[in-house]
Structure 1
C-alpha cells in the first residue's frame, strides 16, 4: 500500500480555507499553476473534485465541506506535535489563532492586541470570529483557540477561564437626545422606546424584571443581534440602546452615555480556552497578550 503524501494535508487545508486557487497559492507562496497541479493531485488522492466552478468562483463539494474542519484539526495537531516543547521563539512563530468574541471587544481592544502581536510575533495571524451564542463547541473541536464571554452554566464544565475585566450595562442615546440634558430617572428610561441587542443566553442584567418591580415597563421597538447594530440605530434615532460600558467604548464616540437609573449587577468578562491548550507555549503567550490588551 502506498503511503500518502502528508504534505498535501497542509495544501488541502489552505485550499479549503481560502476557496480559491489564486488566494491559496498566494498564501503558500506558490505560483497559481503549481497550486492547480496540487489541486489535481488532491483530486486523484481523494477521488473527489473538492472545489468546483460556480460562476466566476469555486465552491466546495459536499465531501470537501465535510472534510474542512477535520483537515484543519489534523494540520493543527501536527503543528503542535512538531513544535518544540521549550524555547518559544516569537520572532519565528508562524501560526494562525482564531478568537471568537462579541462585537465591541475587537473595536475597543483589538488595535492594541494586533499591534503587540505584530511587534512580537510578525508571523502570527489573528482570525476574529463574531460570537453569536454561548456554545463552547468550537473550543472543544479546536476550530476556536480563544473566546471571550461571561462564565455561566452554558459554558462546558471542562473549559478553562481567566477574568479579563468587570463591566456594567449603560444607556446610550445620540448626543442631542432630550435625555442628554439632565440626569436620567427610571421613569425617563422606561418612557422612551428601546433597541435591544439580544441573542440566546443574554438577559441584560434582568432589566425588564427590575422595571416590573418598580411598576414600570419599557417599549422595545426593535431587536438586533449585536451591540454595534444597536448603537448604530440609537445614533440615528431617538431609541435608547443598553450596552456594556467597557467593551463598547470604541463604538460610542460622539454619543451620550448615562448610568442605568436602578441597580444592575456588574458582570465579569473572561477569556476561555480548552484545557488541551493549557501547556501550549504559543497559546499561553497569546493569552497573556489578550489579558494585557484588556487590562
Structure 2
C-alpha cells in the first residue's frame, strides 16, 4: 500500500479513455516517456499488464475492463473532494443554523426559506435565538451564521468574518387607532404614554433612554419584551409605545394594524451584520447562503 498513489487513479482513467500512452499523456499534460513510466507503475501495483499491443495501439486486458467503472467513480469522487468552489446545490443535503433575533427572523426567514427551497431543496434552515454574544458556537461549527446588530463588548472576536447587511433607524410604533396616530409626536406626548422596551436580556433601558436622559427626560417603561417582534405585537393590542428598527417595523405593518412614526429625538442607527467563522469561509454552500442573505436584505423588508 505504501507504493500506491492517488494519481494512479487518474492515470488509469486517462489510459482507459484514450486507449494509448500518447493520448493519455496529452490528456494529463505529460510527456509520453513520463506516461510510460506511470503505466509501468500501474502494472506493478495491479499485478496485470492492463494494456497490451494491438496493431499500432493498445487494448485493455480483462482486468483493466473490470476496473473501468470503479476507476471512473473514484476519479469523480476525488474531483468533488478537491475541486473547491464548485457544487451542485440541487444535490446538497444539509441543515444550516442561523443565530439571530426575532425581528430579523420575522422579516426575512420565510422569504429566505422559500429561496433556499427553490435553489437547494435538500437544505433546511434552523433559526436559533441570540441568547448570548459568544463566538464559541461559530467556532465549534454549531452555528453557521450569526445575524444581528453588533454592540461594543460583543464577543465577535478578531477571528470572525463580518459583513454589514444594512443600516436602519429606530422608529416609534403604536396601534393604528392610537391617539398619537392623529397628532404630531412631540417629546412631551412621547414621554407621557407608557412604553414597551425590547431586550433579550430583560433590560428596561437602551439607546432611547440614553437620548432622553441627555435632555433631562425619562419615559415610563411598563413592559419588557424579549424581542422587537413581540414588542410590536404588544403595541398593536395596547395603548403602549414600542420602538423597533424601521425595516422590522415596515415588515410588521404588513401583518399588524400599526402606525409608525419618527422618534422626536436622535438615536443611533442600527447596523445589522452577518458573521461567520473562517472554518466556513471557503465552503461553497455557506458562501451561497451568505450571498442569499445579503441579496434579500438589500431588497428591504
Do Structure 1 and Structure 2 share a fold, with TM-score over 0.5? Answer: yes
Compute the TM-score of the two structures, normalised by the length of structure 1: 0.68
State the Cα deviation string for residues 10-37 of structure 1 (Å, max 9, x = none): xxxxxxxxxxxxxxxxxxxxxxxxxxxx
- What is the distance in 2 between the residues matched to 1:201 and 1:275? 32
Say how many residue pairs are matched.
215
Alignment of 1:102-181 (within 5 A): 102-152=101-151, 153-154=153-154, 155-181=156-182
Q: 1:255 to 1:212 in 2, by over 3 A?
A: same
Alpha-carbon spacing, 1:205–1:119, altered in 2? closer, same or farther (3 Å) = same
Q: What do residues 246-283 of structure 1 show as CA deviations (whole Å, max 9, x unaligned)?
A: 13432233200111111111121001111111111110
Structure 1 residue 122, shift from structure 2 partner: 0.8
Structure 1: gaps of 5 or more residues: 1-80
Superposed displacement of residue 99, structure 1 = 0.6
Partner of 2:251: 250
Q: TM-score, normalised on structure 2?
A: 0.67
How far apart, CA to CA, are the structure 1 residues paired with 2:159 and 2:205? Answer: 26
Q: Secondary structure at the match of 2:102?
A: coil
SS in 1 for 2:127: strand
Structure 2: distance between partners of 1:193 and 1:163: 33
Q: Aligned in 2, Cα 1:88/1:157: closer, same or farther, shift over 3 Å?
A: same
Q: Counterpart in 2 of 1:264? A: 267
Aligned to 2:219: 218
Distance 1:107 1:137, change over 3 A: same
Residue in 2 aligned with 1:228?
229
Aligned to 1:15: none
Q: CA deviation at 1:233?
A: 1.4
Q: Tell me the secondary structure at the aligned position of residue 135 of structure 1.
A: coil
CA contact (8 A) 2:202 2:224 kept: no
What is the deviation of 1:198? Answer: 1.3
- Report the Cα offset of residue 238 of structure 1: 0.5
Give 1:91 deviation, angstroms: 1.1
1:159 to 1:190, Cα distance in 2 relative to 1, 3 A: same
CA contact (8 A) 1:174 1:235 kept: yes
- Indicate the larger mover: 244-253 or 139-148: 244-253
Q: Which sits farther off after the overlay, 191-200 or 243-252?
A: 243-252
- Aligned partners of 1:133 and 1:199 also within 8 Å: no
SS at match of 1:164: strand
CA RMSD in angstroms, aligned pairs only:
2.1
> What residue number does 2:200 align with?
199
Larger radius of gyration: 2
Q: Using the alignment, how far apart are the partners of 2:279 and 2:231 within structure 1?
A: 36
Compute the displacement of 1:84 (Å): 5.3
